[in-house]
Amino acid sequence: MERQLIKGNEAIVKGAILAGCRGYFGYPITPASEIAQAAALYMPLVGGTFLQAESEIAAINMVYGASGTGQRVMTASSSPGISLKQEGISYIAGAELPCVIVDVMRGGPGLGNIAPEQGDYHQIVKGGGHGNYKNIVLAPNSAQEMCDLTMLAFELSDKYRNPAVVLADGFIGQMMEPVVFPDPIDELPEKKWAIKGVPEDKDNLISSIELDPDDLERHNRKLQQKYEIIRKNEIRFQEYETEDAEFILVAFGIVSRLVQSAVDTLREDGVKVGMLRPITLMPFPTPVLEKLAADERVKFFSVFELNNGQMVDDVRLAVNGSKPVKFYGRMGGNVPTIQEIVDQVKKQMREI
């Protein structure tokens, strides 16, 4: 297949359409606006809907409605907009509706700035809205993965009837890289639970309300079981130079690209270092970390993020005190240089 030089944000929309998505409801926000713009350009050409909603809240509720009809639908935003969507995401998770939500993270808290950050890890991976729910979360680190993981997000979302979030950042959204696009998906999974406005589904109900405490607890237990199955079946990760590594660097999204370069530099200096990159943040690759932590060769883990230390919590839980877990983060839209990462690792090596 021929490659196309394309922005990550646009690759998302093309991937979504190839995955059969025919509904986009969104609200513009930097640095995610190219997603809405590309959806506005292409959705009408394939018989889909693009609608610029009056608010992030309306957009996610339009997604709720359209998803309930069985259509593959999506929305996208950036951090402050995602905060507004959280109410709707909780309802979608509660009603067990599939949908894809893209978060092109920017600097926070508050209005923050439009520069790349990874400060939404907690609000996306841990829940964000109210109640006992989880999103499926995929973290791309290239334009190619913006396409691929969006398509995968639709697949997993339908399979588990659960919202799936593509958690990207301003850099991956704005970056152009060559992308190979796959063939369009021809057949979508059947959705017997959906309401398509035909007599056969008149008994179907899209709702997140359960008045009786026992019913609601049963519903919650069912959700937790579903998350367990997802944890068992859907973990995805990338290992880079970990076979003989004594130091494991952990990073997701754009930071994994920087850390990969830092690993190359450190290897040139003879440092036995490798990288683990979680591709799925929920489910988190806990078993992989457990295995690495159990290996005598591994001396410590070091987590690099563009935030105040959020994913590091999950790394610590997985490592469970058996090895030191270090953290280095930048915030506000600042990105560490390769040399900065290299220096940090060397400093951490001296500390142990």
Chain positions 229 to 288 lying near another protein, rule: CB under 8 A, are 257-258, 260-261, 264
Tell which one of 9, 29, 34, 48 touches another protein (CB under 8 A).
48
Residue 159, C-beta contacts closer than 8 angstroms, at least 6 positions apart: 189
Question: In the complex with another protein, which residue's Cβ is closer, 255 or 292?
Answer: 255
Map the footprint of another protein across residues 3-42, applying CB under 8 A.
3-5, 13-14, 17-18, 22-23, 25, 31, 42
User: Does residue 329 touch another protein according to CB under 8 A?
Assistant: no
Q: Estimate the crossing angle of helix 79-94 against helix 56-68, to 10 degrees.
A: 30
Tell which one of 49, 132, 238, 286 touches another protein (CB under 8 A).
49
Map the footprint of another protein across residues 121-160, applying CB under 8 A.
none
Q: Which one of the spans 174-182, 245-253, 291-299, 313-321 is the region binding another protein (CB under 8 A)? A: 174-182
User: Does residue 91 touch another protein according to CB under 8 A?
Assistant: yes
Least distance to another protein from the beta carbon of 124, Å?
19
User: Does residue 331 touch another protein according to CB under 8 A?
Assistant: no
User: Does residue 328 touch another protein according to CB under 8 A?
Assistant: no
Tell which one of 84, 288, 335, 349 touches another protein (CB under 8 A).
335
Measuring CA to CA, how many Å separate 171 from each of 30, 132, 212, 228, 351? 12, 31, 46, 32, 32
Map the footprint of another protein across residues 204-223, applying CB under 8 A.
204-209, 211-212
User: Does residue 332 touch another protein according to CB under 8 A?
Assistant: yes
Count the neighbouring beta carbons within 10 Å of the beta carbon of residue 351.
Answer: 9
- Residues 99 and 96: their CA atoms lie apart, in Å, by 10
User: Does residue 177 touch another protein according to CB under 8 A?
Assistant: yes
- The residue among 92, 52, 100 whose CA lies nearest residue 72 is 100
- Residues 191 and 166: their CA atoms lie apart, in Å, by 23
Mapping DSSP onto H, E and C, the string for 103-154 reads: EEEEECCCCCEEEECCCCHHHHHCCCCCCCCCCEEECCCCHHHHHHHHHHHH
Number of residues that bind another protein (CB under 8 A): 86
Question: In the complex with another protein, which residue's Cβ is closer, 186 or 243?
Answer: 186
Q: Which one of the spans 120-128, 182-190, 221-229, 266-274 is the region binding another protein (CB under 8 A)? A: 182-190
Q: Which one of the spans 118-126, 190-198, 229-237, 308-316 is the region binding another protein (CB under 8 A)? A: 190-198
Tell which one of 234, 338, 343, 349 touches another protein (CB under 8 A).
338
Q: What angle do CA 71, 35, 47 make, to 5 degrees?
A: 40
Please name the residue that has the structure tokens 């950050």: 117
Q: Omega of the bond prior to 283 within 30 degrees of 0, cis?
A: yes
User: Does residue 352 touch another protein according to CB under 8 A?
Assistant: no
Plot region of 147 (φ>0 → left; ψ -120 to 50 → alpha; else → beta): alpha
Question: In the complex with another protein, which residue's Cβ is closer, 211 or 270?
Answer: 211
- The residue among 72, 5, 69, 77 whose CA lies nearest residue 36 is 77
Tell which one of 37, 40, 57, 238 touches another protein (CB under 8 A).
57
Tell which one of 28, 65, 80, 309 touches another protein (CB under 8 A).
65
Tell which one of 114, 230, 273, 289 touches another protein (CB under 8 A).
114
Tell which one of 111, 130, 131, 184 touches another protein (CB under 8 A).
184
Question: In the complex with another protein, which residue's Cβ is closer, 178 or 233?
Answer: 178
- Residues 281 and 321: their CA atoms lie apart, in Å, by 21
* Strand, helix or coil for residue 331: coil
Residue type at 231? Answer: R
Inter-residue contact 89 to 48 (CB < 8 Å): no
Least distance to another protein from the beta carbon of 231, Å?
28
